[in-house]
Chains A and B, each alone.
Chain A
């Protein structure tokens, strides 16, 4: 026997019950949870599947194990052997729902998807949420960039808030308590010299706090989609919730697990460049700069060097207008992508766990060391976690956990005046790795207009240092068999220090002679949950459960910033080295109290009714409108037995239907109008205030989401094949929105209730065993989802909602789908062909209206949509003996993006498509026939940098040039692992030994011409889609590792 003996409270008639738990093939199941129904008393089966528990005759033992159907057995003797049925279908599987409440999937009236990292090889990834990528229908998850430690953007069922300034991230719940998952973009810009949008969400790829969790600590992740699933969580879960359950110690032990892995990362997909022409003036072709190691600044200069519109590399000389001949014989093409390194990630994970019948514990430590694909960037993360539970009394259990994460990183800039904007302009005439002159200053061919990206990386980045503590305790008391009271409280606390250093010779620091930004973010979040659950079986047909609860969430984000400008000694990164300092501070406090109730009625294990209600009090709403109530109702009906006789073909069928409402307030500090300190002051000893340009309607009311969902779950061939389908639609009324106003009103935006919109979608999951026998199992899971949405109403004074203005503008009018992109287009004639002017050029006007952009009523027209037509994936898990093999293919169909780097590279003559130059071409289209009609164009046009690729009015502002289809098919993951079972494992005193190899994103098919189109120009948490480029591109990776258990 391997049980640890414990002292036991002896109750009347208690006896020892023992038994073996096995699966259908007779193999003992270790780690099965055995619980006496209605109490906290429980145990776990040992390695052979044996268990032992003190129970009274008449008690009901509940056997539950993830991946198997839960079984209940009434104690009638001293032995109870149990066979658990594998729930291939996840049909009767226990899933974790709101507040960590475990429910059988059977009774749910909404859709929950559960993913276990065990099934998903996360090795080499530092962010646990990536386990969900491609595995949950209706969940869109993307790395915002490929930088080490970068953020992950999550959308459940598309945009749920249209406000571009609000994020749509779901609520992250860990073991029943919420985790703050905000990204804080901060303010990392100088007081002058940057064109970037204030705040800087486009400047760096900030990590999100869910990424602080050690992926190896996670037992399961549930995705609660839709308002019905999250109704109990209230406002904060209006975008859905991701519910994470961590690993707990299991009976026996101590058990030690050690995982070691190494991952290599590379950037493979890059924009295709022309390799024929050197740097040179866009009209005269005069070489601006010739590399000359003997010159003090490294170059012989003949003009302004910026473009790649020069003569061919094959020309060995150039004759200047005044007759001087310049030697070009040493010129050659140098790939700017030499900038990228091979990134290396090393991970070490160790955990020790175990339990007795009264006490369980789990301790883990991990070290994750990531060297980015960009030189001088890294992300190092260390995590510790300790959790324990103690059964104080038979009906009272206390559990607690503490986790600590430290991460420090160095991140590269993106966006305006960044490494990646420089790279998009960079002329491949110059080797990018020769970034420094002998005196340590920047080797720069273009007089500083384009920074050398390598120099930028080596001298300037954003350093972050984060300490994150989470401590919580929870008490579970079962005063009666039918009643359980749980109280949990948590303190989530992190402090992050950030430092951005920009020396004076980088463009972005040039206006202030270099700058340093030191930011401090201190977050503390208090969370308190009280749940009272009353469960009663009225008779053998009726069961009711009533849950009442109270939740308090109180968060405080303290931000302070000091920016020092004008560096005394250019290379020293310390605020004391700056001559001018500026400071800023803000305090964001959010308070939310909710009370809720959840009533469930079960009838004959086939009909389940659920009614919930929640009232929230929210600090961000005006006093009078602060309290609001919203209900939900759901019905689930297992119709199999009523309609069909149990058959071998049709095993199970369920329909579910739900309606739910959720209310939502605005963000912090948006209601009302204030006067704020003028940011540029004090000035000359004078302080000053000015009217804020933001106004919030003082009578704003909560936004209401009304969601309807219908779904069905069908199983065939004894659960070998299962189908789950959901249709949902949500009407959002009185959406809260910061409506951009014309500055001439004196306001830049007004936060108010502004119209309604609707979203809808379908999700389908089909899973089945292609092969299932005693030796081999090949399971395939297909996910498919489609999502749509449109603006249904806007206030009279509001014609459209603008998400982001650029040459491709993301905005929507009434009737428009969410994510609609507008742009300028080529002028066309009646037959739809492009109009060609007398000069042989197309004309960009943006409408059918003939005329130049500057005059007339030209307006942008609808040119695309940022969201995909559908997303589908197939996950294959194949196990054969000790070998398991899996691969996940994901296909995103449709979705348009504007690559901001592409236009830079086009205008500068860097792209492969600009290789066609200095030749004439007759553009396709129709020209005037001289009699008011049109004929096929015959006018030849000289294609040149200035006359064509750089031409604003006739070429490069047209959406047909700028907007690209970002569809892709990816081999997202392929992984292979082998479990050693031979004698040498035992000889080495190991319980388990396995080795594995994974590859991520190694195959990508896409029509898109830039880097991997999956990255977003805006950091995680931003609500603007349809823009890419100027960010650290996504990489592919290969991981190798080994797991030991003893």
Chain B
């Protein structure tokens, strides 16, 4: 019976539908491409975009921990999983970097490979500094491993240095493959490979300096100094990506546009203002009354120069205890305009790395005084570079005795204060705070959010991100083997 049926069925099929095999080949999503159809340059732009986006999502939470800003009305952020960062890195950046690298390998395109390695190192850096142990060696394998095991932070740091060293040697070597990033797809350096090389050295210095507790301050500092010598040489080297009038800067979007229409946005924190308005470090030269960068970052509700930042967790309270906080992000400010860049690592930071490393290599401690001439010069250069970048004059500011303290009087807190200001909206500050255990010797006036005592973690700083819930539910064994309280320090901070 069944066979007869089948025969009749087949006859009918042929008779009435007349369909050829290709009739059913309509299952390809419109607009999609196969991997062979794409060049490395087709993939590079989105990778850079998501790398920068990963950093933005991290800072959206960490900037609150760092007390660059507070939530609406002065609120302090609780624990976060920065799931946007996780998605950017693991769904969009790393898998495509892997494709670029395999294409580069096949084409013997060493310089392209180097760029992919640098971008990989940046993504790993953001990830490990946020979550400590993260998947990498087993990650991005697609269906071959859907529950990747995690690598320790120590192993990730080894990977970061390995990637950067390999990128450096490839960039310093020849590449006659003819494949290079183009001025359009390379959203950072427009195809300038020398800048990529200097970026690799600068990043290396940054990560060496993260290890002061692990390698000892002096060794870490000397490693950083070696690398930074070949690092960025001007503001034009800054690793940043500009947004456009169309694809607008997310800080502008959240802090300016939303505020303008009376919607949810953040406020500028008292801690940042106290570093810039003479509260924490009173200006004594009589010329400067305020860091000229403050009006570039922030503005007051009434437009005056009487900046009253929001105390973190203070529900509208400012430094003097009254509920008169009035400071918001600057409308059309340097970092908060539609086409503003997001800076991953800058020349100014390179100089502060040099200043801090020189200070530590010279035997400096969190409370000691004095540094080398080179170190002091780097400190001043860092300030100047940053102020140049922001388009304000640095002469009066560095001349003020509270800033131009002289090499003999320089303390770590001076360097870190300036780095804190220059790295506004950069999650590197969250690393700096943790490297020094939120020491008020280094970060003057840094105190727990005002409502910390009634919160979930009384008396403790939040010092890491939690793993996103998608990861926890889909890779449960590996997450539970690595998950720690948000108040437990990461490996390099222990």
Q: Do A and B bind each other?
A: yes
Chain A residues at the B interface, C-beta cutoff of 8 Å:
191-193, 281, 283-284, 286, 297, 302-304, 306, 320-322, 442, 444, 447-449, 504-507, 509-513, 530, 548-550, 552, 566, 579-580, 585-587, 589-591, 593, 595-597, 599, 611, 613, 615, 617-620, 623, 626, 629, 631, 668-669, 671-678, 680-681, 683-693, 695, 697, 739-748, 750, 797, 799-800, 802, 805, 809, 811, 852, 854-855, 857, 859, 946-947, 952-953
- Contact A854 B26, CB 8 Å, known A805-B470, A946-B454: no
Extra contacts, 14 of them, besides A512-B253, A684-B187, A854-B484 (Cβ < 8 A), are A579-B245, A595-B13, A617-B24, A668-B29, A678-B45, A693-B91, A695-B143, A743-B86, A745-B143, A745-B147, A746-B98, A811-B473, A852-B456, A854-B79
A-chain residues with CB within 8 Å of residue B187 when the two chains form the complex: 683-684, 686
Whether B242 lies near A746 (C-beta < 8 A) is: no
B-chain residues with CB within 8 Å of residue A589 when the two chains form the complex: 26-27
- Contact A619 B24, CB 8 Å, known A689-B33, A746-B94, A953-B456: yes
Could you show 5 A-B contacts with beta carbons less than 8 Å apart? A580-B248, A619-B23, A675-B34, A680-B247, A953-B456
- Of chain B, the residue at the smallest CB distance from A822 is B473
B38 contacts A by Cβ under 8 Å: yes
- B453-488: CB near A (< 8 Å → 1, else 0) gives 010100000000010111101111010100111100
Whether A855 lies near B483 (C-beta < 8 A) is: yes
Whether A683 lies near B45 (C-beta < 8 A) is: yes
CA distance A681 to B48 in the complex (A): 12
Whether B148 lies near A742 (C-beta < 8 A) is: yes
A-chain residues with CB within 8 Å of residue B108 when the two chains form the complex: none
Give which listed residue, A509, A549, A676, A691, contacts B29 with CB less than 8 A: A676
Q: Which of B206-214, B315-323, B395-403, B435-443 contacts A (4 or more CB under 8 A)?
A: B315-323
A-chain residues with CB within 8 Å of residue B46 when the two chains form the complex: 678, 680-681, 688-690
Tell me the minimal C-beta distance from A501 to chain B in angstroms.
15
B414 contacts A by Cβ under 8 Å: no
B447 contacts A by Cβ under 8 Å: no
Tell me the minimal C-beta distance from B450 to chain A in angstroms.
10
Q: Among residues 234 to 255 in chain B, which have CB atoms less than 8 Å away from a CB atom of chain A?
A: 242, 244-248, 250, 253-254
Whether B8 lies near A548 (C-beta < 8 A) is: yes
Tell me the minimal C-beta distance from A510 to chain B in angstroms.
4
- Of chain A, the residue at the smallest CB distance from B480 is A857
Give which listed residue, A283, A509, A747, contacts B315 with CB less than 8 A: A283
CA distance A675 to B39 in the complex (A): 12
CA distance A320 to B483 in the complex (A): 44
- Of chain B, the residue at the smallest CB distance from A806 is B469
Q: Which of B161-169, B218-226, B256-264 contacts A (4 or more CB under 8 A)?
A: B256-264
Whether B141 lies near A745 (C-beta < 8 A) is: yes
Tell me the minimal C-beta distance from A362 to chain B in angstroms.
30
Whether B142 lies near A746 (C-beta < 8 A) is: yes
B494 contacts A by Cβ under 8 Å: no
- Contact A747 B73, CB 8 Å, known A550-B16, A740-B474: no
Give which listed residue, B1, B19, B72, B258, contacts A611 with CB less than 8 A: B1
Tell me the minimal C-beta distance from A549 to chain B in angstroms.
8
Count chain B CB atoms within 10 A of each CB in A303, A680, A746 and give the residue with the most.
A746
B139 contacts A by Cβ under 8 Å: yes
- Of chain A, the residue at the smallest CB distance from B95 is A746
CA distance A748 to B142 in the complex (A): 9
Give which listed residue, A511, A550, A672, contacts B17 with CB less than 8 A: A550
CA distance A668 to B469 in the complex (A): 28
B-chain residues with CB within 8 Å of residue A448 when the two chains form the complex: 258, 261-264
- Of chain B, the residue at the smallest CB distance from A811 is B473
- Closest A-B pairs by Cβ, 10 of them: A304-B73, A448-B262, A510-B263, A746-B95, A742-B475, A674-B32, A448-B263, A688-B45, A744-B135, A678-B46
- Contact A510 B2, CB 8 Å, known A692-B32, A748-B91: no
Whether B2 lies near A321 (C-beta < 8 A) is: no
- Contact A615 B9, CB 8 Å, known A599-B1, A743-B87: yes
Whether A513 lies near B261 (C-beta < 8 A) is: yes
CA distance A478 to B91 in the complex (A): 61
CA distance A505 to B184 in the complex (A): 35
B-chain residues with CB within 8 Å of residue A952 when the two chains form the complex: 78, 456
CA distance A910 to B187 in the complex (A): 49
CA distance A524 to B333 in the complex (A): 51
B-chain residues with CB within 8 Å of residue A548 when the two chains form the complex: 8-9, 12
Q: Among residues 1 to 46 in chain B, which have CB atoms less than 8 Å away from a CB atom of chain A?
A: 1-2, 5-6, 8-10, 12-13, 15-17, 19, 21, 23-35, 37-38, 42-46
Whether B91 lies near A746 (C-beta < 8 A) is: yes
- B80-119: CB near A (< 8 Å → 1, else 0) gives 0000001100111011101100000000000000000000
- Contact A743 B91, CB 8 Å, known A447-B72, A504-B261, A684-B187: yes
A-chain residues with CB within 8 Å of residue B369 when the two chains form the complex: none
- Contact A684 B244, CB 8 Å, known A674-B32, A678-B49, A745-B141: yes
B-chain residues with CB within 8 Å of residue A742 when the two chains form the complex: 135, 146-148, 470-471, 474-475, 478
B-chain residues with CB within 8 Å of residue A321 when the two chains form the complex: 323
- Of chain A, the residue at the smallest CB distance from B186 is A686
- Of chain B, the residue at the smallest CB distance from A532 is B12
B185 contacts A by Cβ under 8 Å: yes
Give which listed residue, A585, A615, A800, contacts B31 with CB less than 8 A: A585
Whether A745 lies near B145 (C-beta < 8 A) is: yes
Whether B148 lies near A745 (C-beta < 8 A) is: yes
Give which listed residue, A449, A691, A852, contacts B485 with CB less than 8 A: A852
A-chain residues with CB within 8 Å of residue B257 when the two chains form the complex: 504, 510-513
B-chain residues with CB within 8 Å of residue A687 when the two chains form the complex: 42, 45
A-chain residues with CB within 8 Å of residue B139 when the two chains form the complex: 744-746
CA distance A44 to B330 in the complex (A): 82
Whether B38 lies near A591 (C-beta < 8 A) is: no
Whether A686 lies near B456 (C-beta < 8 A) is: no
B140 contacts A by Cβ under 8 Å: yes
CA distance A306 to B258 in the complex (A): 17
Tell me the minimal C-beta distance from B135 to chain A in angstroms.
4
Whether A854 lies near B485 (C-beta < 8 A) is: yes
B-chain residues with CB within 8 Å of residue A809 when the two chains form the complex: 473
- Of chain A, the residue at the smallest CB distance from B127 is A744
Whether B248 lies near A512 (C-beta < 8 A) is: yes
Tell me the minimal C-beta distance from A741 to chain B in angstroms.
4
Whether A685 lies near B258 (C-beta < 8 A) is: no
Tell me the minimal C-beta distance from A227 to chain B in angstroms.
17
A-chain residues with CB within 8 Å of residue B254 when the two chains form the complex: 192-193, 511
CA distance A193 to B265 in the complex (A): 11
B-chain residues with CB within 8 Å of residue A530 when the two chains form the complex: 12, 16
Tell me the minimal C-beta distance from B156 to chain A in angstroms.
13
B175 contacts A by Cβ under 8 Å: no
Whether A689 lies near B38 (C-beta < 8 A) is: yes
Whether B262 lies near A505 (C-beta < 8 A) is: yes
B-chain residues with CB within 8 Å of residue A685 when the two chains form the complex: 184
Give which listed residue, B12, B49, B248, B456, contacts A550 with CB less than 8 A: B12
Whether A744 lies near B471 (C-beta < 8 A) is: yes
B451 contacts A by Cβ under 8 Å: yes
Give which listed residue, A303, A597, A746, contacts B5 with CB less than 8 A: A597
Whether A797 lies near B146 (C-beta < 8 A) is: yes
Count chain A CB atoms within 10 A of each CB in B6, B25, B146 and give the residue with the most.
B146
Give which listed residue, B5, B27, B140, B264, contacts A745 with CB less than 8 A: B140
A-chain residues with CB within 8 Å of residue B264 when the two chains form the complex: 447-449, 507, 510
A-chain residues with CB within 8 Å of residue B25 when the two chains form the complex: 619, 623
CA distance A723 to B250 in the complex (A): 65
CA distance A742 to B139 in the complex (A): 10
Whether B33 lies near A675 (C-beta < 8 A) is: yes
A-chain residues with CB within 8 Å of residue B35 when the two chains form the complex: 675, 691
- Of chain B, the residue at the smallest CB distance from A665 is B27
Give which listed residue, A303, A680, A747, A802, contacts B316 with CB less than 8 A: A303
A-chain residues with CB within 8 Å of residue B19 when the two chains form the complex: 593, 617
Whether A683 lies near B34 (C-beta < 8 A) is: no
Tell me the minimal C-beta distance from A546 to chain B in angstroms.
9
Whether A613 lies near B5 (C-beta < 8 A) is: yes
CA distance A619 to B20 in the complex (A): 12
